[in-house]
Amino acid sequence: MTANIKSSAVAARATPHLDDRRRTVDRTTALYAAALILPILVSIHQSSGSILPLLVSALIIAAGWATLFARLRHHRFEGHAMIGAAIFALMVPPSIPLWQALLALSFGIVVAEQIFGGRGYGFLSAPVTALAFQLFSFPGSTEPATSGLIALSVIPGAAILLSVGLVAWRVALAFAIGLFAALAISGFSVPLQSLFTASLALGVAFLVCDPVNAACTNIGRWAYGVLAGVLVVILTDPDQGTGHLAAIVFASLLAGIFAPLIDRIVIMINVNRRRRRNG
């Protein structure tokens, strides 16, 4: 009986924390959904609706995986996997075989997100992993059409995410610094308008600046952002132009892999500095 009382007390104390996490996840999902509405509508218009089969299928498969893992863990359904699915659908060409896209998306959702416990428990975002799998496994995938209008449609949503802190301004600014510094050092002569592509806009807003993919410490965010910007230039294929899909995806992937190490180094430096100060 004592054990039951203790278990009940622990559950009572844990419930507010679970409720807070659920509200946070729901709020995050709703804000990302709002940020994606305009890019989705513009993409549907630009593609004359050809993106719809991919988009709908991606949302269904993401909802299916989220439901399966929620039942296995006896948790409630969380819809953020569908946000990753929408980002994936916006960034791949709608002409790719549907089975390839759904296989890559399933890999990203399951391996990068769900097996770690869901959104916020892994260290790589699902769309980054899914896009990297797609590009690496099916290298014949063509680059989606460059659209300045889609790039423009990303700005309002990015501003929403920036205003609520889901996009860290340090990461965004550091990315721009790293990108332009690497272009200047490499000697690439790139017109500014050529950088304003749908892949780069979507990639910066929803891949590089994703809190799951990015560093957490303030100094780490500067280092992570600069690293991602430099990697975009390093990984750029001159024939495709700066900011093409593969460059932004693999730059996000590599920078995300190093993000925990960057944070670890920053924390160790801060701890050692405090020890010396207090010693």
Measured distance CA(47)–CA(161) in Å, rounded? 26
Multiple choice CATH, 2-278, 3.30.1360, 1.10.287, 1.10.3430, 1.10.1420: 1.10.3430
- Which amino acid is located at 151 in the chain? A
**Beta carbons of 100 and 152 less than 8 angstroms apart:** no
Span 240-270, pLDDT tens digits: 767 788 999 999 999 999 999 999 999 999 9
Span 69-126, pLDDT tens digits: 989 888 888 888 999 999 999 999 888 899 999 999 999 999 988 888 777 777 788 9
Centre a 10 Å sphere on the Cβ of residue 6 and count the other Cβ atoms it contains.
10
The 3-state secondary structure of the chain reads CHHHHHHHHHHHHHHHHHHHHHHHHHHHHHHHHHHHHHHHHHHHHHCCCCCHHHHHHHHHHHHHHHHHHHHHHCCCCCCHHHHHHHHHHHHCCCCCCHHHHHHHHHHHHHHHCHHHCCCCCCCCCHHHHHHHHHHHHCCCCCCCCCCHHHHHHHHHHHHHHHHCCCCCHHHHHHHHHHHHHHHHHHCCCCCHHHHCCHHHHHHHHHHHCCCCCCCCCHHHHHHHHHHHHHHHHHCCCCCCCCCCHHHHHHHHHHHHHHHHHHHHHHHHHHHHHHHHHHC
- Which amino acid is located at 174 in the chain? A
Mean pLDDT over 199-206 rounds to 94
Of residues 66, 169, 47, 176, the one with CA closest to residue 113? 66
User: 203 vs 60, 231, 264, CA distance in Å?
Assistant: 23, 13, 25
- Cα–chain center distance at 204: 9
Mean pLDDT over 20-42 rounds to 87
Show the tokens assigned to 123: 């260290």
pLDDT at 127 (0 to 100): 94
Q: Report which of residues 12 and 230 the model is more confident about.
A: 230
Q: Report which of residues 93 and 147 the model is more confident about.
A: 93
pTM: 0.86
What percent of the chain shows pLDDT beyond 90? 59
Show the tokens assigned to 159: 């501003």
pLDDT at 14 (0 to 100): 40
Q: How confident is the model at residue 147 (pLDDT cuts 50, 70, 90)?
A: low
| Among the ranges given (115-129, 157-171, 205-219), the one the predictor scored with the smallest mean pLDDT | 115-129
Measured distance CA(259)–CA(265) in Å, rounded? 10
Mean pLDDT over 154-181 rounds to 95
> What does the buried/exposed string (b/e) look like for 103-138 if buried means 16 or more CB atoms within 10 Å of the residue's CB?
bbbbbbbbbbbbeeebbeebebbbbbbbbbbbbeee
Rounded to the nearest integer, the mean pLDDT of the chain is 86
Q: How confident is the model at residue 7 (pLDDT cuts 50, 70, 90)?
A: very low
What percent of the chain shows pLDDT beyond 70? 85
Mean pLDDT over 10-17 rounds to 43
Q: Where are the domains of the chain?
A: 2-278
